[in-house]
Amino acid sequence: MANRQNYAAIKELKKQNNLAAGLVSDRFPSVSDIVINMTYFQRGERPVLMVRTVNIVPTSYALFKMDCMIRGCDGGGFDLTSVVVDMVKTRKKVKKGSIDCHGNIDARSADHASIEYEAMIKYK
């Protein structure tokens, strides 16, 4: 029963965050399409955890925070909001970089995961 309540609370929080972020078309009216290619890395024997492409259209919510894919990571993730905002401000079309996860796993500090990203924005 507690898991069901936690799930409902998490789902409600996510819904509120989506509404607070607004739509891409409202926040960035000059943008017609955003594509973010990411490669997730983890510490260990097999460093590449996953390769992922996220397509963001004008009707998408303007949330650019990706969860950490490491099980048990508390408070982590990869926030690309500042990357997208900076790109739109300067009308930049492509940007590459990397971000480390700053979450914790089992009371250990971060440095357990990172991503390399390539963000591409098409303008109207």
pLDDT digit string (tens) for 67-109?
A: 888 888 878 889 999 999 999 999 999 999 999 988 887 755 5
Residue 6 — very low, low, confident or very high, per pLDDT cuts 50/70/90? confident
User: CB neighbours of 72 closer than 8 A, spacing ≥ 6?
Assistant: 105, 106
73 C-beta neighbours (distance < 10 Å), count:
19
Measure the CA–CA gap between 42 and 24, rounded to whole angstroms. 30
DSSP letter (8 states) at residue 23: B
The SS3 of residue 124 is coil
pTM, full prediction? 0.84
pLDDT of residue 51: 94
